[in-house]
Amino acid sequence: MLCELTAHALHEKLKNREITAVALAESVYARIDEVESHVKGYLTLTKDLALEQADRADAGFQKGDEMPALAGIPIAIKDVICTKGVRTTCGSKILESFVPPYDATVMTKLYEQGVVMIGKTNMDEFAMGSSTENSAYQITHNPWNLDTIPGGSSGGSAAVVSADTAVCSLGSDTGGSIRQPAALCGVVGMKPTYGRVSRYGLVAFASSLDQIGPFTKDVTDCALLLNAICGSDAMDATSVDVPVPDWTQSLINDVQGLKIGVPKEYFTPALDPEIADSIQRATAVLEGLGATVEEISLPHTEYAIATYYIIAPAEASANLARYDGVRYGYRNENPENLINMYKKTRSEGFGEEVKRRIMLGTFALSAGYQDAYYKKAQKARTLIKSDFDAAFEKVDVIATPTSPTPAFKIGERTADPLQMYLSDVMTTPASHAGLPGISVPCGFVKSGLPVGLQLLGAPFAEEKVLRVAYTFEQNTEHHRRKPQIQTNGVVSS
């Protein structure tokens, strides 16, 4: 099927007029008809818009125009990114009928490239979760085993790429929400350096941590999407004005002379032994290709989760104050007075996890507790960043597991929020430091579920991260395996 191919392979076929963008889009929708009822990766499909966009791309190819690398390529968008004229719910009841009047900057950039938007993907409500079980609408299933979670909060975006119901997708990463689901779904997922990609039009969860990034079938496609979405933006004060190279130039199959650090703090008794084995085999591959692999220490790693679950909820408490039932979104229909309307609207509109984090964040910012919690967490964040700064003086890239466990069963951790929060123990430290990080497939556990290798770089050192990821991918076969999705007793590969 066409939808199984990478974006760069499809570009060649489109450019050579072997296929049409319309046929490609129809192939994706045929695949959606086949498996979406089982995977449940989408909240909104935009077939009419997609076919219009595909038709425009075909017109350009037929005229012989020099078409961008992503022209005609079907892409899915996490439902936390504003899309003009297309419903954007953030996985929440409170935004069930919200249709943005503008596009996020990343959408403007993608449309300039001629992409075909297939639809908006499911997610944990307001990006708060690690399993995509917190959506107000449905639970997304992992294509590798439909009884397991796809990770979160960008679980829908990871699952649709894994299931071939999109060629690539965009997600957002606050504490690991791209990297962790990419690992659990066996695809490539990258969080760029904080400030690399405009957050304008990304509905805010934790503004000092949120960053948009790609999910793809391989590292080459990841570089192509980064080419499209990176760059400074006057509409985002946190966007950084630094040069944006052609990331495809970083795809060099060579790690000779590079130093790769493996932090001992990530290999604890809580790490699944099969995952530890996969990571050790992966670093051995890189060492065999000429890299130097050495153990390093990131001593403040143990504080990362606690720090994250103070800072992120505190920022969420402020960001989610705007959902009051007055300007847009859900509103309780029978309030007794204004204060009662606020209370009922927010109680009915937000899910349990979102309310839990708003309360945690409000408490951490409250008088008498701000110094004890929020300010202390900010100091811990500085120490975590200092660990990474010191490490990158000695090594070029850091290699770790992406997730401490493979995908777990749906419902397994919903009654234990702390256990759920520990799903992000490997990804939150880099988020605190604003680092670029990628997860690439690096193996499988005995049950057949995929394992991800996380590669981290210094701020704005995406080129080194991509180089190591590409080299590992080119010398292994893990990324070529596809899930076998059971549909009505029939395996759909």
Whether residue 330 is contained in a domain is answered as no
In this prediction, residue 491 has a pLDDT band, given cuts at 50, 70 and 90, of: low
pLDDT tops 70 at residue 231: yes
Instruction: Find the angle CA(26)-CA(216)-CA(400) to the nearest 5 degrees.
Output: 160
- Mean pLDDT confidence for 343-369: 95
What are the residue ranges of helices labelled H in 163-267?
179-185, 219-229
For the record, the structure tokens of 254 come out as 């060579």
Whether residue 246 is contained in a domain is answered as yes
pTM for the whole structure: 0.97
Q: Tell me, what's the pLDDT at 432?
A: 98
pLDDT tops 90 at residue 421: no
Question: Residues of the chain with pLDDT > 70: what percent?
Answer: 99
Whether residue 341 is contained in a domain is answered as no
What are the residue ranges of helices labelled H in 338-491?
338-349, 352-365, 376-391, 417-421, 428-433, 462-474
Mean pLDDT of the chain: 96
> Could you tell me if 200 and 235 are in contact, meaning their C-beta atoms sit under 8 angstroms apart?
yes
User: How far is Cα of residue 283 from the mean position of the Cα atoms in its chain?
Assistant: 24
Whether residue 92 is contained in a domain is answered as yes
> Could you tell me if 188 and 450 are in contact, meaning their C-beta atoms sit under 8 angstroms apart?
no
Residue from 27, 40, 78, 93 carrying the catalytic annotation: 78
Count helices and strands in the chain by DSSP H and E runs: 15, 13
**Number of domains present in the structure of the chain:** 1
Question: Residues of the chain with pLDDT > 90: what percent?
Answer: 95
Whether residue 416 is contained in a domain is answered as yes
> Which domain covers residue 12, as residue numbers?
2-262+391-492
- Mean pLDDT confidence for 379-388: 98
- Mean pLDDT confidence for 314-319: 97
Task: Classify burial at 371, counting beta carbons within 10 Å of its beta carbon; exposed 0-12, middle 13-18, buried 19 or more.
Answer: exposed
Q: Tell me, what's the pLDDT at 419?
A: 87
CATH code at position 227: 3.90.1300.10
- Mean pLDDT confidence for 100-123: 98
Is position 177 annotated as part of the catalytic site?
yes
Per-residue 3-state assignment (H helix, E strand, C coil) for 194-208? CCCECCCCECCCCCC
φ, ψ dihedrals at 275, nearest 5°: -70, -45
The pLDDT tens digits for 5-23 are 999 999 999 999 999 999 9
- Mean pLDDT confidence for 341-370: 95
- How long, in residues, is the chain? 493
Contacts of 477 (CB under 8 A, 6+ apart): none
CA–CA dist 29, 43 (Å, integer): 14
In this prediction, residue 486 has a pLDDT band, given cuts at 50, 70 and 90, of: confident
Whether residue 448 is contained in a domain is answered as yes
CA–CA dist 317, 329 (Å, integer): 17
Q: Which of 249, 41, 315 is nearest to 164 (CA)?
A: 41
φ, ψ dihedrals at 71, nearest 5°: -60, 130
Residue from 27, 130, 131, 153 carrying the catalytic annotation: 153
The CB-side HSE value for 269 (13 A sphere, CA atoms) comes to 0
The pLDDT tens digits for 12-61 are 999 999 999 999 999 999 999 999 999 999 999 999 999 999 999 999 99
**Which residues lie across from 347 on neighbouring strands?**
none
The pLDDT tens digits for 205-224 are 999 999 999 999 999 999 99
Whether residue 377 is contained in a domain is answered as no
Task: Classify burial at 477, counting beta carbons within 10 Å of its beta carbon; exposed 0-12, middle 13-18, buried 19 or more.
Answer: exposed
Q: Tell me, what's the pLDDT at 454?
A: 98
Q: Which of 386, 385, 396, 384 is nearest to 466 (CA)?
A: 396
pLDDT tops 60 at residue 489: no
**Which residues lie across from 485 on neighbouring strands?**
492
pLDDT tops 70 at residue 488: no
Q: Tell me, what's the pLDDT at 178?
A: 98
Is position 78 annotated as part of the catalytic site?
yes
- Mean pLDDT confidence for 137-166: 98
In this prediction, residue 417 has a pLDDT band, given cuts at 50, 70 and 90, of: confident
Q: Is 137 helix (H, G, I), strand (E, B) or coil?
A: coil
- Mean pLDDT confidence for 465-470: 98
Residue from 130, 177, 403, 431 carrying the catalytic annotation: 177
Whether residue 409 is contained in a domain is answered as yes
